Amino acid sequence: MEKRWVINEPGDDETVEALMESLGVDRVIANLLVQRGITTFEMAKAFFRPSLDDLHDPFLMKDMTEAVERLIIAMDKQERVLVYGDYDVDGTTSVALVYTYLKSHFDYIDYYIPDRYSEGYGISVKGIDFAADKNYTLVIALDCGIKASEKVAYAKEKGVDFIICDHHTPDEVLPQAVAVLDPKREDCNYPCDALSGCGVGFKFMQGLAQKKGWKFVTLMPLLDLLAVSIASDIVPITGENRVLTHFGLKQLNEHPRLGLKTILKLAGVTKDLGVNDIVFKIGPRINAAGRIQSGNRAVQLLIADKEEAATLIGDTINDLNEDRKELDHSITDEALDRVAKNKTLLAKKSTVLYDCNWHKGVIGIVASRMIETYYKPTVILTESNGFATGSARSVEGFDLYQAISACSDLLENFGGHKYAAGLTMKIENVSAFQKRFEEYVCENISEDMLMPQISIDASIKLSDITPKFFRILKQFEPFGPRNMTPVFVSERVVDYGYSRPVGRNKEHLKLSVVDDIREGDVKGGIAFSMGKIYPKISSGTPFDLCYSLQENEYMGKVETQLMVRDIKF
* Phi and psi, residue 444, nearest 5°: -120, -5
Per-residue confidence in pLDDT tens, the chain, 569 aa = 789 999 999 999 999 999 999 999 999 999 999 999 999 999 999 999 999 999 999 999 999 999 999 999 999 999 999 999 999 999 999 999 999 999 999 999 999 999 888 888 889 999 999 999 999 999 999 999 999 999 999 999 999 999 999 999 898 999 999 999 999 999 999 999 999 999 999 999 999 999 999 999 999 999 999 999 999 998 999 999 999 999 999 999 999 999 999 999 999 988 889 999 999 999 999 999 988 888 999 999 999 999 999 999 999 999 999 999 999 999 999 999 999 999 999 999 999 999 999 999 899 999 999 999 999 999 999 999 899 999 999 999 999 999 999 999 999 989 878 889 999 999 999 999 999 999 999 999 999 999 999 999 999 999 999 999 999 999 999 999 999 999 999 999 999 989 999 999 999 999 999 998 777 689 999 999 999 999 999 999 999 999 999 988 777 788 899 999 999 99
Of how many residues is the chain composed? 569
DSSP assignment of 31-67: HHHHHTT--SHHHHHHHHS--GGGSPPGGGSTTHHHH
- How far is the C-alpha of 544 from the C-alpha of 138, rounded, in Å? 60
- How far is the C-alpha of 256 from the C-alpha of 242, rounded, in Å? 19
Q: At what angle do helices 283-292 and 223-232 cross, to 10 degrees?
A: 80
- How far is the C-alpha of 67 from the C-alpha of 140, rounded, in Å? 9
Task: Say whether 206 sits in a helix, a strand or coil.
Answer: helix
C-alpha distances out from residue 524 to 398, 457, 464, 501, 511, Å: 36, 20, 14, 13, 5
